[in-house]
Amino acid sequence: MLNQLTISELTAKLVKREASAREATQACLDQIQRVDGQIHAFLSHDAADALAQADAIDKAIAGGASLTEHPLLGVPIGIKDVLAVKGQPLNCASKILGKFISPYDATVIQKLRAAGAVVFGRLNMDEFAMGSSTENSAFGVTRNPWDTARIPGGSSGGSAAAVAADECIATLGTDTGGSIRQPAALCGCVGLKPTYGRVSRYGLVAFASSLDQIGPFTKDVRDTATLLEVMSGVDHRDSTSVPQPVPHYAAGLTGGIKGLKIGLPKEYMVGGLAPEVNQAVQEAVKQLQKLGAEVVEISLPHTDYAVATYYIIATAEASANLARFDGIRYGARVDGDDPISLYGNTRGAGFGPEVKRRIILGTYVLSSGYYDAYYLRAQKVRTLIRQDFLKAFEKVDVIVTPTTPTPAFKIGEKSDDPLQMYLSDIFTISCNLAGICGLSLPCGFTADPKLPIGLQLLGKPFGEETLLKVAHAYEQSTPWHQEKPAIKT
Amino acid sequence: MAATDIDVKYVAHLARITLSPAEEQKIGAQLGNILGYIEKLRELDVSQVEPTAHAVPLINVMRPDEVRPSLSNEEALRNAPAKANGLFLVPKIVE
């Protein structure tokens, strides 16, 4: 079935005319029809618009369009509900945006379209990307395709579940503290958070501007390379995008990792790690050694401070970014007697509990009398965390860790305890604070129930080529990426 | 300061979020817990450390100050909850 293919498999078929883009899009729509009642990865999707895009691509293929110019020719790609797609709804899985329709395409969406992709669907997420389980969506939880009693991870839970359930060939998500890598690990797909500045964020609804990045979810590492190459590059509409040349990532997947140095941070292999996760990661390290990599123990001494640092910086930035949702210019409005009560009523009714909690925390750490004690101190600890990584990367090419301390937990298990939920991001958060790149890929399964386990690879700033090379070598020498969940319908 | 001292009602007002009394109580307890955890940053001596605002060494990204195409008035107002005569409608501010 076409919806089960990877980007490279599907595009090869399309250019050989063994299938049409319309058939590929229809196969994804059929799969959504079949399984999404169970999974709820999609908040909505515009089938007519997707098929019209596919028809246009079929015409382009008939006219001789090539993969060299359009590497995503005819590939259906789902979009997290935080990125602007012209003429489509944009809600950030929140009630506060009301019936918002995007007036323009995000830069990454323009790039996908230019590469020939069929851009469709609004994928579920934690409201405003705040959460680790997709339980904070205002429109219902997404379920993990491997076990529908469990969370898919978050905040990009819909993006991960849609790829794992073959409802799309690939998807886009965003990662502020692990929101791509953690759900990719828990759903058994490949997810990449690019280096800060690698991908333009124009058209992304901002959560924490010094941490947010957009990245791909795919079924294998080659597809991540292909998609990253399309998405990357400087953009005059995002002044934080970096004018660094974009390598041919897919062409760099040559297989050999002999002599590469891989760092194992001793601070990451300690308490709270589920035994099966620990074992799978140890096996993966052995596999990398077999492939010729040299494993070195390293230290990231400020690891233990990352979660606290993150929840000051991210909430402070969120409290400023989310001030724009005021009930005046767009979205839902709840009236009041004066503008101040209109703001308060609109935001009190429109935001969910986690978003309120984080805005209030962020307002508090920035408020007069507390700024130095919390926000400024956190920015200084952030410097120490970043220095830890830059020092480690003087000795090693890539750092290997578990992506998450445990496999997917049950729906409801942590939803009443925000601090426990925050601590589940312990391995992914530092990467955003340091501004480096990180990737998660499958490295095994738990026995009963069978749940995916993720291996995290962290790379130098703009070191995506090396990261992808190591991930590809590991993936091609192990069977994990070929496993599919059995979804009851 | 004691972490649990957070005046949720006051901070929620600063953030322009109207909370119910039940929400105030719940958020107050949860934030007390989170702030207690965050206190661990005090263990570190950061007196000699420069703060990091973001991780990319870019400064002063400039562009020419030229008029470029942008959203039309109609498009900019399309998502507004209340509008009239090509403008956003807001409650009365001055009596």
Structural domain boundaries, residue A199:
2-259
Q: Does the structure show a pLDDT above 50 at B54?
A: yes
Q: Which residues of A touch B30 (CB under 8 A)?
A: 357, 418-419
pLDDT of residue B5: 63
Q: Does the structure show a pLDDT above 60 at B4?
A: no
A81-119 b/e (C-beta count within 10 Å ≥ 16 → b): bbbbbeebbbbbbbbbbbebbbbbbbbbbbbbbebbbbb
Say whether A102 is catalytic: no
Residue A447: pLDDT band with limits 50, 70, 90: very high
- A61-83 residue pLDDT tens: 999 999 999 999 999 999 999 99
Q: What six digits make up the tokens of A335? A: 């009236």
Q: Decide: helix, strand or coil at residue A433.
A: helix
Closest CA of chain A from B47, distance in Å: 9
For B51, the closest of A332, A379, A434 (CB atoms) is A379
Q: Decide: helix, strand or coil at residue B37.
A: helix
Q: Decide: helix, strand or coil at residue A256.
A: coil
Percent of chain A with pLDDT over 70: 100
Q: Does the structure show a pLDDT above 90 at A157?
A: yes
Q: Which residues of B touch A382 (CB under 8 A)?
A: 51-52
Residue A285 inside a domain? The answer is: no
Q: Does the structure show a pLDDT above 90 at A424?
A: no
- Mean pLDDT computed over every residue of chain B: 89
Total domains present in chain A: 1
For A210, the closest of B6, B54, B58 (CB atoms) is B54
Q: What is the ipTM of this complex?
A: 0.94
Q: Does the structure show a pLDDT above 90 at B60?
A: no
| Alpha-carbon distance values, A483 to A153, A164, A478 (Å) | 19, 10, 11
Say whether A80 is catalytic: yes
Out of A80, A193, A414, A460, pick the active-site residue: A80
pLDDT of residue A272: 79
Mean pLDDT calculated for residue range A313-340 = 95
pLDDT of residue B2: 41
Q: Does the structure show a pLDDT above 50 at B3?
A: no
Q: Is the CB of residue B8 less than 8 Å away from at least one CB of chain A?
A: yes
Phi, psi of B88 (to 5 degrees): -75, 140
Percent of chain A with pLDDT over 90: 94
Mean pLDDT calculated for residue range A123-140 = 98
pLDDT of residue A258: 95
For B78, the closest of A103, A210, A461 (CB atoms) is A103
**Three-state SS letters, A385-421:** HHHHHHHHHHHCCEEEEECCCCCCCECCCCCCCHHHH
Q: What six digits make up the tokens of A24? A: 């590929």
- List B residues 22-61 in contact with A (Cβ-Cβ < 8 A): 23, 26-27, 30-31, 33-35, 37-38, 40-44, 46, 49-56, 58, 61
Residue A97 inside a domain? The answer is: yes
Residue A303: pLDDT band with limits 50, 70, 90: very high
Out of A179, A200, A319, A440, pick the active-site residue: A179
Residue A269 inside a domain? The answer is: no
Residue A27 inside a domain? The answer is: yes
Residue A488 inside a domain? The answer is: no
Residue A452 inside a domain? The answer is: no
Closest CA of chain B from A13, distance in Å: 40
Residue A378 inside a domain? The answer is: no
Lowest model confidence (mean pLDDT) among A246-250, A285-289, A416-420: A416-420
pLDDT of residue A423: 84
Lowest model confidence (mean pLDDT) among A271-280, A315-324, A389-398: A271-280
* Residue A246 belongs to domain with CATH number: 3.90.1300.10
Q: Mutate one of A345, A361, A366, A416 to test the B interface: name it (highest B CB count within 10 A).
A: A361
Say whether A179 is catalytic: yes
Q: Is the CB of residue B3 less than 8 Å away from at least one CB of chain A?
A: no
Residue A83 inside a domain? The answer is: yes
The Cα B56–Cα A113 span in angstroms is 28
